[in-house]
């Protein structure tokens, strides 16, 4: 009896998963937006890392990560910067890019994981922005590298999802 229930539950989840995959659509524009954002973010991390290494070599005080801003779950994070702030163009473009990716993703595919990924990306960039504005000491190159890897991992998950959708739509067309 228990095995029949387990089998029924497993079958139910398999049918739901298959039905859910067919309702999601591959969008080459979204794929390109995510890829372009990944390249832009990676270039900025390279710049920050180079600055941190230069600061680390020339500064008399130790270069360490300071405390970040507290962020509550579900808190809206605004990355918009005043034009006079360092890196303002980058942070303003981050908010614009993430909003476009989020809107396009929600329009095409209802996927709660996307909300978590976008929140994670916003949170990472919010923390970086906060620290760059409010901390007297700059982050170490190692800390910047950790943040870079976190952003890369999230974006790779999003791109992998797009690849699965692309392959699924190609297989459906055959």
Tell me the average pLDDT across 66-94: 82
User: Is 123 a residue whose pLDDT tops 60?
Assistant: yes
Give the per-residue pLDDT at 15.
39
Which pair of tokens denotes residue 104? 């396009």
Half-sphere exposure of 126 (CA within 13 A, CB side): 17
pLDDT of residue 60: 44
Mean pLDDT value across the chain: 78
Percent of the chain with pLDDT strictly greater than 90: 30
Q: How far is CA 159 from the centre of its chain?
A: 11
Using pLDDT thresholds of 50, 70 and 90, give the confidence band for residue 63: very low
Distance between start and end Cα atoms, the chain:
41
HSE value, Cβ hemisphere, 13 Å, CA-based, for 25: 9
CA distance 149 to 45: 10
Q: What is the pTM of this model?
A: 0.76
- CA dist., res. 131 & res. 142, Å (int): 15
Contact (CB, 8 A) for 42 and 148: yes
> What pLDDT score was predicted for residue 12?
43
pLDDT band at 52 (very low <50, low <70, confident <90, very high): confident
């Amino acid at each position: 009896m228990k095995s029949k229930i387990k089998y029924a539950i497993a079958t139910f989840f398999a049918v739901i998963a298959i039905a859910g995959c067919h309702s999601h659509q591959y969008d080459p524009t979204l794929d390109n937006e995510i890829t372009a954002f990944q390249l832009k973010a990676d270039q900025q991390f390279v710049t920050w890392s180079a600055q941190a290494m230069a600061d680390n070599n020339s500064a008399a005080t130790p270069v360490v990560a300071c405390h970040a801003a507290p962020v509550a779950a579900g808190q809206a994070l605004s990355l918009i910067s005043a034009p006079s702030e360092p890196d303002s163009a980058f942070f303003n473009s981050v908010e614009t890019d993430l909003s476009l990716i989020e809107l396009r993703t929600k329009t095409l595919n209802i996927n709660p994981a996307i909300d978590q990924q976008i929140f994670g990306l916003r949170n990472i960039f919010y923390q970086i922005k906060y620290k760059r504005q409010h901390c007297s000491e700059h982050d170490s190159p190692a800390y910047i590298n950790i943040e870079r890897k976190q952003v890369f991992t999230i974006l790779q998950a999003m791109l992998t999802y797009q690849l699965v959708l692309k392959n699924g739509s190609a297989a459906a067309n055959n």
